[in-house]
Chain A
Amino acid sequence: MSNAADMPVLRARGLRKEYGKGEGLVRAVDGVDLDIGAGETVAVMGPSGCGKSTLLHLLGGLDRPSGGEVSLNGHRIDDIGEKALARLRRTAVGFVFQSFHLMEELTAVENVELSALLAGRSPRAARRRAEDLLEQVGLADRARFLPSALSGGQRQRVAVARALSNEPLVVFADEPTGNLDSAATMDVLQLFEGLHESGQTLVVVTHDARIAATADRMISMRDGALIDETRLTGGTTGQLGALIGLED
């Protein structure tokens, strides 16, 4: 017997993603079973090309699996239509990408309110929420700046704020510090730590063991399959930078 409280917010069973046919068949994700609980931070690690990003895309509804099931909050998302997937992406999940993916022609605040406007919120409510989020990520004074006028770390913080715009069930981050220098990496890590503390469910794909060390759980992938799972000590607290070796 299970009750609602025990139900994982994200669940994958026998998840597969294949490209090509016959001898050219590539299994980017190969039979992944995974449960992620509410408020949990999970780091996905592995060498380049092992299928980490593909798994993230499948779990977040950015891509469709070749087989298996994905459920978000108890609802299957692997077999729903394109419109329903779009609705899911703007209401239930948020994404943070390695290369930020901000709209270059929109200011920081306009980028953040993008999801809210797509979700049908009124322009005024969307703007209020976006300004609150920018304040939370420490960029209230950069709200009217175009992305080109922001540093890499600032851009990524704008992307995080955008991912949180519609209070998603899960935030997916794909190499969120991959394009950042050490100082900016620190900023983003602290941001993620704050999210973790606030109970936000997070799935982070990373190459960087120092970032993985901040998670509740670390799973390792190779050739599309999960090969190892390590439960950490509930993420980091306190002197994050010192813990992960970014500060002396």
Chain B
Amino acid sequence: MLGRILLVGRLAVRDLRRRRIEAALLLLAIMAATTTLTLALVLRDAASDPYQSTRAATHGPDVVAGVYQPAKLSGLEELAGAAGVIDHSGPYPVAPAKLQASGRTSDVQVVGRDAAPASVDQPELIQGSWVRDGGVVVEAAFANALHVRVGDPVTLDSRSFEVVGVAVTAAMPPYPGASCIVAIGCVNGAITDEVPPGLLHNPGLVWLTQADVRSLTTDSLSYVMNLKLADPAEAQAFVANHGEHGGATPMQPWENILEDATELARDSQILLLIGAWLLGLLAVAGLSVLVGGRMADQTRRVGLLKAVGGTPSLVAAVLLAEYVLVAIVAAAAGLAVGSLAAPLLAESSAGLIGSAGTPSMTMSTVGLVTAVALGVAVVATVVPAVRAARSSTVNALADSPRPPRRIGWLIAISARLPVPLLLALRVAARRPRRVVLGVVSIAITVSGIFVVLVLNAFLTTQPLAGGYADAQVEVLRQVLLVWIVILLSLAAVNAIVITWATVLDNRHSSALARALGATPRDVSTALAAAQVLPALVGAVVGVFPGGFALFAAINAITGGDSDRATLPSLWQLLAVVLATVLVVAALTAVPARLGGRRPVTETL
């Protein structure tokens, strides 16, 4: 048994070493999928970590309650004494205001706090000091968006203040997702019409002393109170049980704040997950061709193994072992790169403490990424491996190529075409499965490009519609960039691999065509055209229905509103199709040219 394991391992490792470029391509293809999947999973696991860190550091409340009229403050007092509440802070006065800083004006909700630290929701200072008379503390994500720092002068409703601190809180989602705690109401997101008078639009959060807040206004003060429960897990139930306070005492459990605070990370994660599945499919398509091509190259090796006594299962094990080995390395590399890159994409907000992704490599992530890598390798390998293992030993030793398909009508049609097209159609007709894989590969890529175009246009024209600030738009742009770079790289690898497999498979027929009078240019053109024609079909299918279907799927999963999105214009879509065809033609030109110029006598 030990000897056989040694043999299988040795043959796998030696063959990989002998074909380093192919092994590297295999590794890259699987790694693209595993890296993206790792990013997605790490972001999922990490999404709640910064909020939890912030909650711990600020003694975050389990429930935030508010009233919009001073007369109803008694409702808050009752809540503070309710069963299950072990601590509270507030009630604190809240006023709406307009803040001006660095020439920019923004609506804000101003919370009046005591100079002494509170036992519940004491915002954690990132810079500077806590509130004092004449000094304002700005919520960190809001400060980041406005580019204000400690020492900067700002005005609140035309009164001058100095920024004395920048802090984070867990009592409210970071800017621009802040919950509304002012009596006059707020409008969040993008709006096409003017903001109704009195309403705050995408308000930021700042803290002043209570005296300063009361000096801003006395008319429209509302109040908030932060409650700490004996059991934080009961927050939802607490809010439900004290529903009699209804609209008069709106309450928000910490879980809802968490959900709003981690929305960006979730959106990034969904994009990455979809990207990972797309890349997984691309990897399967590319690997199938690569493995199929390699198996053809390994026919004699299979025959030899069987001739010296290898059983079909041992032959299949040897062939699978190579790809399983690559998949394991690709999974490890994907996990490493993905977990290192995750923090770059997971800086969900300056409004939270801690870097998402740092602590979140879990066993389930490792297991899932490894399983996907192995799945991709096995799905792509199992058919050719089993086919090879079952092949006739004598035929394999003679290195007989798998007989190509004959599609009579295509051969008849091609007879009427110019020589390069005649050869191209016949080349394509020999291996229909490879043509389908080529079409699928291009269609997946173009669908991805379509979605990236739509999302990029959305982020450019109406970022606040998604509740995103500039920094968050930047993060999502980075996610899209990762998507598109990996997608295009893998598609390029696929195009080259498919062409090269076609070149190898058509060695004899190409040499024969040249022996019968076709020029090297005819053969090269035919080999390239055999890839370009499926690429054209794939590009068209990738736009419709591929791109539309993928975008609809993303909207369905994220709950997005497709009406707000701007779909690519017709000329953009035509440009994508044309560019795809040109890029595939350029990528396939070199291998096709090499294939068309092989010496005839050497092959025949």
Contacts and interface: CB of A to CB of B under 8 A. Distances in A.
Interface of A: 54, 57, 62-63, 82-83, 86-91, 95, 97, 101-106, 110, 114-123, 126, 162, 166
Nearest to B16: A105
B309 A91 contact: yes
Given A62-B393, A121-B3, A126-B3, A110 B10 contact: yes
For the residues of B in contact with A, the DSSP-based class is helix
A63 B392 CA distance: 8
Contacts of B394: 54, 57, 62-63
B303 A115 contact: no
A57 B397 CA distance: 11
A54 B395 CA distance: 11
A103 B303 contact: no
B10 A118 contact: no
Contacts of B312: 82-83, 86
Contact of A82 (B2, B307, B311): B311
Given A117-B4, A117-B7, A118-B4, A105 B17 contact: yes
Contacts of A95: 307-308
Given A82-B311, A103-B14, 20 more contacts: A57-B394, A63-B393, A86-B314, A87-B309, A87-B311, A88-B309, A103-B11, A103-B301, A103-B304, A105-B15, A110-B10, A114-B308, A115-B308, A118-B3, A118-B7, A118-B308, A118-B309, A122-B3, A123-B2, A162-B308
B302 to A, nearest CB: 11
A115 B309 CA distance: 7
Nearest to A54: B394
A204 to B, nearest CB: 17
A114 B301 contact: no
B18 interface: yes
Nearest to B6: A123
Nearest to A64: B392
A194 B561 CA distance: 84
A120 B4 contact: yes
Interface centre among B6, B304, B308 (most CB of A within 10 A): B308
Contacts of B300: 101
Nearest to A90: B309
A97 B304 CA distance: 10
Nearest to B8: A117
A136 B312 CA distance: 32
Contacts of A106: 10-11, 14
A181 B312 CA distance: 36
Given A63-B393, A82-B311, A86-B311, A120 B3 contact: yes
Contacts of A119: 309
Contact of B306 (A54, A86, A91, A97): A86
Contacts of A118: 3-4, 7, 308-310, 314
B570 interface: no
B1 interface: yes
A56 to B, nearest CB: 10
A62 B2 CA distance: 26
Interface residues of B, number: 28
Interface centre among A83, A87, A91, A117 (most CB of B within 10 A): A117
Nearest to A107: B14
Nearest to A172: B307
A90 B314 CA distance: 13
A62 B302 CA distance: 13
Sort A-B residue pairs by CB-CB distance and give the 6 closest, nearest first. Answer: A90-B309, A105-B14, A117-B3, A86-B311, A89-B309, A117-B7
Contacts of A115: 308-309
Contact of B303 (A90, A101, A105, A123): A101
A132 to B, nearest CB: 17
Contacts of A121: 3
Interface centre among A62, A91, A120 (most CB of B within 10 A): A62
Interface in B10-35: 10-11, 14-15, 17-18
Contacts of B309: 86-91, 115, 118-119, 166
A101 B10 contact: no
Interface centre among B10, B11, B307, B393 (most CB of A within 10 A): B307
Nearest to B18: A105
B257 to A, nearest CB: 60
24 contacts: A57-B394, A62-B394, A82-B312, A83-B311, A83-B312, A86-B306, A89-B307, A89-B308, A89-B309, A90-B309, A91-B309, A95-B307, A101-B304, A101-B307, A103-B14, A103-B301, A105-B11, A106-B10, A106-B14, A110-B10, A114-B7, A117-B3, A117-B7, A123-B6
A97 B300 CA distance: 12
B395 to A, nearest CB: 9
Contacts of A116: 3
Interface string B302-324: 01101111111010000000000
A104 B397 contact: no
